[in-house]
Structure 1
Amino acid sequence: MKELVLTFGGIYGTLAVVFGAFGAHALKKRLNEEQLKSFETGVKYQMYHAVILIITGIAFPFLNLGQQLTAWCFIIGVFLFSFSIYGLVLSDAAGKKLRFLGPVTPLGGLLLIIGWILFTVNIVNIGRFLS
C-alpha cells in the first residue's frame, strides 16, 4: 500500500506540473478567464493532494483500515475532483460541455474532505502511540 500511495503522489504531482504549464501556456489563449481559473483550481488541488499523499505514504504504516481509507479518499478524490474540472473546462471550451461531470466534482471534493478528516485522526493516533 505504501508504494502505491507514494506512486500516486508522484504521478499526481508530475501531472499537476504538466497540466499547470499546459494551462498557463497552451490554454491561455483558448480559455476565457473563468475557465482558466477553474482549470487552475483543479491543478492546485491536485498538487496539494499529491503532497499529502507523499506525506501519508511516509507517515503511515497502513496497518489499519483508517490509514488505508485515508489514502484511497485522497487518490479517488483527486481523480474525481481535479480531472472532472479539467473535463468540464476543456469540453466547455470546445463548445460541447460534458454536463454529466458537474456532479462528479463535489463528490471528489467530499472524498478529499473525508481524507483530511481521516488523516487528522490517524496522524493524531500515531502521535499518541509514539509518545
Structure 2
Amino acid sequence: MNKTILITGSILGLLGIVLGAFAAHGLEKLIDENAIESFKTGVRYQMYHAFLLLIIGGTGFVKEKIKKSIFYLVLGGIIFFSGSIYGLATNTLTGFDFKIIAMVTPIGGLFLISAWLIMLIGIIKSNID
C-alpha cells in the first residue's frame, strides 16, 4: 500500500504542477481572473494533499489500516473538491454545465478534512513519543 500511496502522491503532485502552469500561462486569456483564482485554489489543495500522501506513504508512524483510509479519502477528496473546482472555473470553455455537479465540492472538502482527522486520531492512538 505504501508504494501505491507514494505513486499516487507523486502523480497528484506532477499533475498539480502541470495544472498550475496551465492556469498561469494557458487560461489567463480564456477565463476571467476570479475563475483563475478558483482554479489555483483547486491546484493548491491538490498539492497540499499530494504532499500529505508522500508523507503518509513514506513513514511508519501511522498504521496500515489508517493509511488506507487516508489514501481513499484524499483521492476522493481531490477528485470531488479540486476536480469540481477545475470544472467550474473552466465552465465557459466546455459544453458541459459543471454547475450541475457543484454540490460535490463541499463533499470533497469533507473527505479531505476527514483524512486529516483520521490521521490525527491515528497519531494520538499510536505509541510514538
Q: State the TM-score, normalizing by the size of structure 1.
A: 0.89
- Provide the identity percentage: 37
Cα separation, 1, equivalents of 2:61 and 2:123 = 11
Letter in 1 for 2:69: L
Question: Which is worse superposed, 36-45 or 97-106?
Answer: 97-106
Amino acid at match of 2:128: L
> Deviation of residue 38 (structure 1)?
0.5
1:98 to partner: Cα distance = 1.8
Amino acid at match of 1:114: S
* Partner-residue secondary structure (3-state), 1:30: coil
Gaps of at least 5 residues in structure 1 are none
Count of aligned positions: 129
Alignment RMSD, CA only?
1.8
Taking structure 2 as the reference length, what is the TM-score of the superposition?
0.90
Residues 73-104 of structure 1 deviation map (CA, whole Å, 9 limit, x = unaligned): 11111111111111121123447532222011
Matched, 1:3 2:3: yes
* 1:67 and 1:118 in contact (8 A); partners too: no
Paired residue type of 1:75: L
CA distance in 1: counterparts of 2:115 and 2:41, whole angstroms: 18
- Give yes or no for contact 1:92–1:98 (8 Å, CA) kept in 2: no
d(CA) in 1 for partners of 2:58, 2:122: 13
- Secondary structure, aligned partner of 1:130: coil
Structure 2 stretches lacking a partner, 5+ long: none
Offset, 1:64: 4.5
Counterpart CA distance in 2 for 1:78 and 1:123 is: 23
- Whole-angstrom CA distance in 2 between matches of 1:8 and 1:50: 8
